[in-house]
Structure 1
Amino acid sequence: MFALSVIGQSAVAQIDITGGSPAALPSLTGNAPSPAGPSTAAATESLVLEIVVNGTSQGEPSNFELRGGELYAEPQSLTNAGIRVDDVKPGADGWVALASIPGVHATYVARTQQAVLEVATDRQVAQQIGYRVPAVPKATPGTGFVLNYDATYQRSSGEAHGDQFGVWSEQRLFSPFGVFDNTGTYLNGTDINRYTRLDTNWTYTDATKLFSLTVGDAISESLAWSRSVRFGGIQIRRDFALRPDLITFPLPMFTGAAAVPSAVDLYINGLRQYSGNVAPGPFQIAQAPSLTGAGVAQVVVTDALGRRVTTSVPLYVDTRLLAKGLFDYSVELGFLRNDYTLRSWSYDSSPVFSGTFDYGLSDRLTLQAHAEAAKDLRNGGAGAVLALGNRGTLSAAVAGSNENGKSGALASLGYQYIGPRFSLNLQGTRATSGYRDIASLSGASTFEHLYQATASVALYRTQSASVSYIDSKDTFSGHARVVTLAFNAQLGTRLSLFASVFRDFSQTKVYGGSVGLTMSLGGNASASATVSQSGGHTTADVSASRPADFSGGWGWAVQGGAGADYRHAFAGANYRASFGDFQATAQRFNGTTTGTLQAAGALVAMDGTVLASRSLGDGFALVSTDGVARVPVLQENRVVGVTNRDGYLLVPDLSSYQRNQLAIDPLALPADTMIDKTQMDVAPQRRAGVLARFGLSRYRGASVSFVDADGNAIPPGSVATVTDTGASAVVGYDGVAFFEQLSTMNAVSIHGKNIDCAAEVAFDPSTARTMPQLGPIACRATRKP
């Protein structure tokens, strides 16, 4: 039998869901301690017993003492067996009488050498199942250089004509001490010939502490009610992106109890998220649901007899919240960047400061704070995100600023609910005319207000509709009040329909709409047709495409469109290889025809070799087989390529600071190959590479048969040793010994039972590939037996 619990109640099919990890489960039985059995002995007897709790063995035996017929144990032994003893005071010697523990009845079974314990549910430690904080893999350091590039050549003819060549490039030097990075663009065309530096910085990261330090160009962190800026300086922050396997939002915690060994399954919105087994006693399931917003969790408990209890519990997940006690921060100090992409070295002369902090005060409340400072500007604010149970989340923030004695204020309020059938998002932010932040100092627009409301509803199983309203006013775009209606529908397995209309009520004759149809053509290809109307003008576009497979191959795209004042046609083909992506396109827009050639990829210098690759964003590995060519390399049991003639293969797209399994296929190696290892796990640092060396080498040896002076085989078990290298081999039957490495001439001594002799073994290295059999070779006795 089994039971699921809700605080304050006891029933067969009930369950409790709370945030975080409960410190202790509620009492389900309230059993009083059982009286001790009669005394059977006066002396103390030391025992090593198997612990059986409620009929289930706990595995490893533990130390006990039998004193006056009562069992005593050390508190740690009971804790290891899942029994809570935090409220029990041990004796002066550190041992606890089991009869003194409320909710525990102990029986010593001498015949089976067991301590059989009947333990009340509230006395047991809840079994932790489901999600566990993953261990941080030890980073595998590497040193090398990466050159990423994206080069484009464009030639136009007709009404507009000319040539233009452009290259975006990144130079990245990585080492165990961090990553130095520089990006820029070069343009050469009509009236232009220049290189513009974009970002230059050095970054050091530590995944064990979620710490990141950047010196150079960076982007400041921001909250929903603040703005980011580009700057040059120093940034110190906590970086959860270093550990994407960590769950930072509050996990729903399901608690229950089972009276017998049972299987537990957790379903979220009908999809199984966890499956496992539990021993008798209380249990807790902490599992990250694969949803954002509202949903329904179902816990199914099945005992050994097949009896099943299913309990449904509503839940709501918002990833903007931080789990209780978790915090996030970012601090920046530097100089604002001006004319980005236009000038290489344009910074303000006065420094600026920015700081952001988030803290999970509880699983329902996350606090936020943000502060900024510049020469004549001070800005600060605070906010919060509050979970409203299963009814969504509420967010609020206030901020104030002062620039040269002129004050301003900002207020923001929002509500969000995301459900499987209905979603609603309301957000309003308003600032007074004097409100300023450091983004406004860099030329960004200042806004007066931004009001947003969006509602969406699921219609039937494959359709959805939404309506949105945006009322915004800023110094760049002016005032806009736009209402948009949208509809999407999946028509069968191959067709989808989309339609939308909009109207700007702050301007006259600003309205429009579009309707389109997308069809799957099979083989990853699709086609679409769209008709749009805006400002009294109607346009129509049709397109078809098939992207290249991720593993490599050809892709293509065609498009055509027409409107009142334009005609457009486009065709292109692209090819994805292991050493880069390449594309050629041709298009005609009204009277101008343009042809484009594009190549994107990377060059990697590492371990004394240079290899071409696709563009490298995050981690990668350079596999080395020590000069052995054509060796198949596997990533997570999937063949990703073979090593080149120098024994190298570059494996891109690895996850940084996570375990990535690499292996080689030993069956494809020559018979004379020695292998150090066939599999390894690597964890590259962020945006860095690792050297995965499998340690392959060729045998330069042979099997040698030895005989004594009478022609009899050397007795098995004797040890043959090469004098020059010290390498030894055990002599087997027929006097045969195998040596992995031999020189042209080898002095060998053999020692064993009733044998002590020496021999000379000549070896031709050119025969090593065939693993030659040498001998019989006479071994001359060095002493008489």
Structure 2
Amino acid sequence: MNKSISKSKRHCRICHDLQLSPLKIAVTMAASLCHIFSPVFADSGDELLIANFDKSMLWGQGARAIDLTRYAAGNPIEAGVQTLDVTVNTLSFGQFDIKFNDADRPGRATPCFSAALLDSFGVNTDKLPAAVGVSDGGVCVDFSKIPNASYEVNTSDQSLVLSIPQIYMRNNPRGYVGPERWNNGVTAGFIDYTVNGYQNSLNGQSSQNIYAGINMGLNLGAWRLRQRSTLNWDDENGSKVDAISTYIQRDIDALRAQLTLGDTFSDGDLFDSVSIRGARIASDNRMLPDSQSNYAPVVRGIATTNARVTVRQRGYVIYETTVSPGNFEISDLNPGSNNGDLDVTVTEANGEEKHFVVPFSSVARSLRPGVSRFTASAGLVRNLQYNSNPHLVQATWQRGLTNIMTVYGGVTGFEDYKAALLGVVLGTQWGAVGLDVTQANTDLGKEKFSGQSVRVSYNKILTDVGTDVTLAAYRYSTDGYFGLSDALSATDQVKAQGDETVNSIRRLRTRSEVIVNQRLTDSDYVYISGSRQDYWNDSGYDTQLQAGYTRSWSWGNTNISVARTQDPYGKDDNRVMVSFSLPFGTRSYLTTSASQGSDGNSNLQTSFNSTIGEDQRLSYGISASYDRADAQSSSKSLSSNAQYRTSFGTLNGSLSKSADYHQISAGISGSVVAHPEGVTFGQSLGDTIGIISAPGAKGAQVLNSQNVELDGSGQAVVPYLTAYRRNEVSLDPIGLSDDVELKNTSQEVIPRSGAVMMVKYDTVSGHAVLIKSRRQDGSPLPFGASVFDKLGQEVGAVGQGGQIFARVNDESGDLFVSLSDKKNSLCVIPYRLPVQLEKSKNIIKVEALCS
């Protein structure tokens, strides 16, 4: 009985209080029902009697002597600190610890609102009447002196609802969370890692490859130290380590910006993003409210085997994984910057490699009126091919002028290059259109170049017809124009190899990009993405094209996709794929696909994929494939892959075999976090994380994250918290032992970017005991009577039939029951728990007389 009660109220913040007093449960439920029809109480002090309890309905000796008048006006509020969800004028402000002071009657404590607390609720304290006492410096202002203001407390859902006239409120935008509530978190260090090993053997020749991506961090107060590296090793070229970025960073609240010092990247919104060693300060849109506030493309492709997919940006490997045969989609990229095409390599199990480029650039720069964004960078350029290190400076600025117009501009340059840009974005009913012009001067020694580049960009979602043009852009550059990246490469090459190499450096002439998604009906849609560019001093085109059509049927899904790649030298690669997918239940599906390439290669495969368990920890797939290169050459293969998700990370592996080759891969991703409470292993981290600490609560599930539960120390890593926003971190006690109880199951945190938040939960430990007791003369104990331990602490209450649920720490001892009759005010229950109790996780049942 008690176990089911405990599970049913797992999200109640006062479950500890209720579990120890069944009588309180009964009267609270009655008062809560009455609350539906009337307010609990208001600031005026007037009380509306909403309930009149008939004591004849209470059973047991002494029960009728219990005073229930304190519940007549609703659920009582005792003096002390209560954690409540605060709503002001229908807007939620999150959880606050509210102090309640004693009033003239027990159970009618009144909230204490300080000026700072009202300010946190969005109240403009400068506009409040003098009678409120804001200027007096008192701990509690006189809330009743605010004209037409009221409050309402509901203990059933632990909420505080305030109604305050709008004239006394600040005009904050929706989603606003003030900087005073942003939390730096605790001092902590972490390692976030991804390791993937890949081995294949083709015609007796084997090769091995290992990739490791490591993000390390250390938080000290407001400062963040970050280091991001990759390790690539293969048996032919050996190992290579790339330090992508190493920097320290902190928030600058007054500017709604972040300061970064070290190895980082210049901003890539208006100019090319380049790797620098120096300083950067830039606006952070996440610090703005939701109503005023990045983009990374989805990488789609086709694999014919268990293939290794490698994603590079500006030469760095930023992502690598193993995908199963068929269409794949990568939507969780974390690029090093917000601009720069992604170079994708698909390495099949038979050694075949396919390359394509995914365009990546932001074009919609519309800002609200009065909102500005800026960046400023200065430092030495890193990682040029011939190791020159010019000094780069760059600054950009954007400003929303009206609802439809945003202007922007910027300058950048180094010793041999200067560029300036001016642009405007018009937000119209037909979409956001951007137009900018860049003037650039480049000095390459014996030759000097000067030119312009004009760029037009477009972004629009046509809701009525289901069209989503997420990115469309066209750029035209004159013969003498060099972009920042091209100018750096050109000057670097000229200084290393001489002026005669100038003509070998390609200068962009035109570039076009487009990504369109079109929904035809509720069950089918098409998508197309592509880019094309040509050059002044080189013939041919670079072309990338992907398109597809998907339809959902009552029996499954169908998909047709095409991909085309062409380089300036005329070499092209075209591939067409058709697939059918049939669901089996809710977590399994069967897929059959056929693909044909322009080189004559074709593939036919059937695969089965499934997820096992209610918590979906294990997912796996198996497939059979038939490949044909030409009329005389064909092969068959079998493949399998699996992924297992745990609290400490994700394990994955794959295996495939044919007559010509066999392939195997294995990988793991996860994290290790050192914090004030110890060291905790977790899943892959996002930018901002939380560490739960609930001593003794091993096995409790974390509701915010899939497949995360508290470890033996009662700790867990909660990844992917949202910076500068309210995050509710919740626990589900369904996996807890009955000997442990959570005092609350939900907390709110508002972290800064990169913070490690310590989320502590109070627990109560002790043996859960159900005692069946009567008085020594056989009469029942009074229903609702309190039960105390030897220290005088209340540990339970008498329920119906003389049953007592209590939580005790000792294996034997005495409990004391408060009686209602004057002759015997207390009786004593001696108890002794079974010897083998440590082997049981259930509630222990004993019988004992109260004498």
Q: Same fold (TM over 0.5)?
A: yes
State which of 387, 402, 406 in structure 2 corresponds to 1:366: 406
Answer yes or no: is the 8 Å Cα contact 1:677–1:694 preserved in 2.
yes
Q: Deviations over 1:575-633 (max 9, x none)?
A: 22222222222346894433222222222222343332222123332222223434x24
Residue 349 of structure 1 aligns to a residue in which SS?
coil
Answer yes or no: is the 8 Å Cα contact 1:568–1:587 preserved in 2.
no
Name 1:393's counterpart in structure 2.
432
Identity level (%) = 14
Cα RMSD, aligned residues only: 5.5
Name 2:667's counterpart in structure 1.
598
Bigger proportion of residues as helix: 2
CA 1:570–1:362: 2 relative to 1, 3 Å: farther
Task: Return the alpha-carbon distance in structure 2 between the equivalents of residues 469 and 168 of structure 1.
Answer: 29
Task: Return the alpha-carbon distance in structure 2 between the equivalents of residues 700 and 234 of structure 1.
Answer: 58
State which of 237, 247, 255 in structure 1 corresponds to 2:282: 237
Task: Return the alpha-carbon distance in structure 1 between the equivalents of residues 526 and 268 of structure 2.
Answer: 32
State which of 546, 567, 580 in structure 2 corresponds to 1:518: 580
Name 1:203's counterpart in structure 2.
249
Task: Return the alpha-carbon distance in structure 1 between the equivalents of residues 603 and 809 of structure 2.
Answer: 74
State which of 465, 483, 490 in structure 1 corresponds to 2:551: 490
Residue 363 of structure 1 aligns to a residue in which SS?
coil
CA 1:772–1:546: 2 relative to 1, 3 Å: closer
Residue 281 of structure 2 aligns to a residue in which SS?
strand
Give the letter aligned to residue 596 of structure 1: S
Residue 440 of structure 1 aligns to a residue in which SS?
helix
State which of 205, 216, 226 in structure 1 corresponds to 2:262: 216
Q: How many equivalent residue pairs?
A: 564
Task: Return the alpha-carbon distance in structure 1 between the equivalents of residues 659 and 289 of structure 2.
Answer: 47
State which of 159, 163, 173 in structure 1 corresponds to 2:218: 173
Task: Return the alpha-carbon distance in structure 2 between the equivalents of residues 414 and 402 of structure 1.
Answer: 24
Name 2:310's counterpart in structure 1.
none
CA 1:329–1:156: 2 relative to 1, 3 Å: same
Name 1:530's counterpart in structure 2.
594
Task: Return the alpha-carbon distance in structure 2 between the equivalents of residues 336 and 641 of structure 1.
Answer: 42
CA displacement at 1:538 relative to structure 2: 4.4
Task: Return the alpha-carbon distance in structure 2 between the equivalents of residues 566 and 647 of structure 1.
Answer: 56
Answer yes or no: is the 8 Å Cα contact 2:442–2:450 preserved in 1.
yes
**TM-score computed with the length of structure 1 as normaliser:** 0.58
| Pair 1:324 & 2:388 matched | no
Give the letter aligned to residue 411 of structure 2: A
| Structure 2 counterparts to residues 245-324 of structure 1, below 5 A | 245-248=290-293, 320-324=365-369
| Pair 1:147 & 2:216 matched | no
Q: Deviations over 1:379-422 (max 9, x none)?
A: 1111111123x223332111112233542221223455542436
Task: Return the alpha-carbon distance in structure 1 between the equivalents of residues 768 and 610 of structure 2.
Answer: 52
Task: Return the alpha-carbon distance in structure 1 between the equivalents of residues 237 and 458 of structure 2.
Answer: 51
Task: Return the alpha-carbon distance in structure 2 between the equivalents of residues 463 and 594 of structure 1.
Answer: 36
Q: Deviations over 1:625-676 (max 9, x none)?
A: 223434x24426x995543332223333333333222344568767776755
CA displacement at 1:162 relative to structure 2: 4.0
Which one has more relative contact order, counting CA pairs under 8 Å at least 6 apart?
Answer: 2
Task: Return the alpha-carbon distance in structure 2 between the equivalents of residues 513 and 740 of structure 1.
Answer: 70
CA 1:212–1:531: 2 relative to 1, 3 Å: same
Answer yes or no: is the 8 Å Cα contact 2:641–2:652 preserved in 1.
yes
Task: Return the alpha-carbon distance in structure 2 between the equivalents of residues 495 and 411 of structure 1.
Answer: 43
CA 1:528–1:319: 2 relative to 1, 3 Å: farther
Residue 202 of structure 1 aligns to a residue in which SS?
strand
Answer yes or no: is the 8 Å Cα contact 1:672–1:771 preserved in 2.
no
| Pair 1:555 & 2:620 matched | yes
CA displacement at 1:680 relative to structure 2: 1.3
Name 1:573's counterpart in structure 2.
641
Q: For structure 1, list consecutive stretches of 5 or more residues without a partner in the other structure.
A: 1-57, 60-123, 250-317, 341-345, 704-716, 749-753, 755-760, 778-785
Give the letter aligned to residue 529 of structure 1: S
State which of 478, 502, 512 in structure 2 corresponds to 1:452: 512
Name 2:383's counterpart in structure 1.
338
Task: Return the alpha-carbon distance in structure 1 between the equivalents of residues 767 and 573 of structure 2.
Answer: 81
Name 1:192's counterpart in structure 2.
238
Name 1:480's counterpart in structure 2.
541
Answer yes or no: is the 8 Å Cα contact 1:170–1:183 preserved in 2.
yes
CA 1:526–1:182: 2 relative to 1, 3 Å: farther
Bigger proportion of residues as strand: 1
Name 2:480's counterpart in structure 1.
434
Residue 489 of structure 2 aligns to a residue in which SS?
coil
**TM-score computed with the length of structure 2 as normaliser:** 0.54
Give the letter aligned to residue 517 of structure 1: S
Give the letter aligned to residue 595 of structure 2: V
Which is greater in Rg? 1
| Pair 1:356 & 2:396 matched | yes
Residue 686 of structure 1 aligns to a residue in which SS?
strand
Task: Return the alpha-carbon distance in structure 2 between the equivalents of residues 379 and 524 of structure 1.
Answer: 55
Q: Deviations over 1:438-469 (max 9, x none)?
A: 32244387542224375969585255567888
Q: Once structures 1 and 2 are overlaid, which stretch shifts more, 669-678 or 186-195? A: 669-678
Task: Return the alpha-carbon distance in structure 1 between the equivalents of residues 453 and 544 of structure 2.
Answer: 25
Residue 537 of structure 1 aligns to a residue in which SS?
coil
Task: Return the alpha-carbon distance in structure 2 between the equivalents of residues 701 and 571 of structure 1.
Answer: 51
State which of 664, 683, 689 in structure 2 corresponds to 1:614: 683
Task: Return the alpha-carbon distance in structure 2 between the equivalents of residues 721 and 517 of structure 1.
Answer: 69
Give the letter aligned to residue 746 of structure 2: Q
CA 1:476–1:220: 2 relative to 1, 3 Å: farther
| Pair 1:694 & 2:758 matched | no
Task: Return the alpha-carbon distance in structure 2 between the equivalents of residues 456 and 670 of structure 1.
Answer: 53
Give the letter aligned to residue 485 of structure 2: A
